[in-house]
Amino acid sequence: MRLISKVRRTNFDIILQRLAGRATCELQPGAMLHSSARIRNARGDSSKILIGCHTRVLGDLSTFGHGGEIRIGEWCYIGEASRIWSAISIELGDRVLVSHSVNIFDSLTHPIGAAARHEQVKQIFEEGHPLSLSLDECPVRIHNDAWIGAGAMIMRGVTVGEGGIVAAGAVVTRDVPPYSIVAGNPAVLVRELSADER
């Protein structure tokens, strides 16, 4: 019994050592990380993930070793099982609602070529995220008061305009105009919001 206790304590100590000094994020006043939130900041610089005042994060925020920056405005919500993956820059304005199980990408996440992809994965397994890599990165911008529905995917280079709504399950590969709703795979314009819906 004592041996098991020592082994568990040793494993726990190892985990604590790995986490000590590891970059996480910067929280502004009133911001909160829920117990389900995960910060995977491979950049090693806590200033590269900024969470604005009164924002709640239940999902995952991740940067790559070679780059990535996540800026989330005030009074935002990042739902459980949602993941924001940045290799260059993802920015959310104020009052943005990201529902559950959303994925937001600003890169391809892996090289197109099989050999390069294998080398990237091998390096992640053996040494951590590569510090030099090209993943055809293109920034993502989600403006104030946007709503991203459950299970949606926002792909690299997309801008969601102010007050834009992305329907549940949509795959967004093109910009979303302000105060409009897009849906489908690939997402297409459904309609503009009326004056009283804005």
Residues belonging to the active site? 110
d(CA 101, CA 48): 23
Whole-angstrom distance, CA of residue 153 vs CA of residue 103: 5
- d(CA 57, CA 72) in angstroms, rounded, equals 10
Cis link prior to 178 (omega < 30° from 0)?
A: no
Q: Which two tokens stand for residue 136?
A: 């055809």
Decide if 41 contacts 23 (C-beta within 8 A): yes
